[in-house]
Amino acid sequence: MTKKVKTEWISVDGGKGQTYDAYLALPPAGTGPGILLFQEIFGVNDHIQGVAEQYAQDGFVVLVPDLFWRQQARVALGYDGEDRNQAVSMMKALVPEEMQADIRSSLAALRSRPETTGRKSGALGYCLGGRLAYTAAAITDVDAAVAFYGGGIHDQLALAPKLQCPIQFHYGAKDESIPGSAVESVRSAVSDKNAEVLVYEGANHGFNCWDRGTYHPNSAALGHGRALTFLAQHLF
């Protein structure tokens, strides 16, 4: 019988007597290096769960913390209309210090899993999550990080000198929310680090998301392959 990816929601200790949920995807082999996967602004929705399962199929133990738990637990939003408005509002309500606490606590939860014992752990994120993967690389001891179209990284370049691991950035050349000047500011800030900055011609923000109108299959496939190669190199 062919082994499959196993998924479940688990509880994470958020400190101060609080807990929050995280989506766990286990590889068919049952064990592997860990990936802390950070969501877009739309919550741990079907797409992000699908991304977790994709990387689990590739051999990683993937944990996706519910970053909006203080506002609305397990919220899962679409990409247009009122759902998008709600997503933007919830993102704006996030508190940086709380996000950093959640990065640390979810990483601790990932590393405490028996499936990751003795293995390395990395951070991966998209959109909002891309910025948090970058933050994780600066404030924790993750072994590698990958940030897809991380909004706001160019406004947090003070963290760049603190980067402690190899990191890979992916941007769409047509992303109006992250213009070329912002990408080049990131490139300059990490020029003395073990960092790659990759730009995809013809791709817009959200190019990896197969549920969005901005999905760009060629860039998504190329980006996934590059990220997978990078994470395999540094985590296995």
What is the maximal distance between C-alpha atoms in the chain?
Answer: 52
CA dihedral 85, 91, 92, 96 (to 10 degrees): 180
Q: Does the pLDDT value for residue 10 go beyond 90? A: yes
* Residue 227 is assigned to a structural domain of this protein: yes
CATH number of the domain where residue 190 is located: 3.40.50.1820
In sign, the C-alpha dihedral spanning 40, 42, 47, 50 is positive
User: Tell me: the pLDDT tens digits for 41-94?
Assistant: 999 999 999 999 999 999 999 999 999 999 999 999 999 999 999 999 999 999
Among 215, 191, 64, 213, which Cα is nearest to 125's?
A: 64
User: Tell me: the pLDDT tens digits for 142-166?
Assistant: 999 999 999 999 999 999 999 999 9
Query: How much is the pLDDT for 3?
Result: 82
Among 235, 15, 2, which Cα is nearest to 121's?
A: 235
Structural domain range at position 123: 6-235
Query: How much is the pLDDT for 1?
Result: 66
* Structural domain total, the chain: 1
Query: How much is the pLDDT for 14?
Result: 96
* Residue 1 is assigned to a structural domain of this protein: no
What is the pTM (predicted TM-score) of this model? 0.97
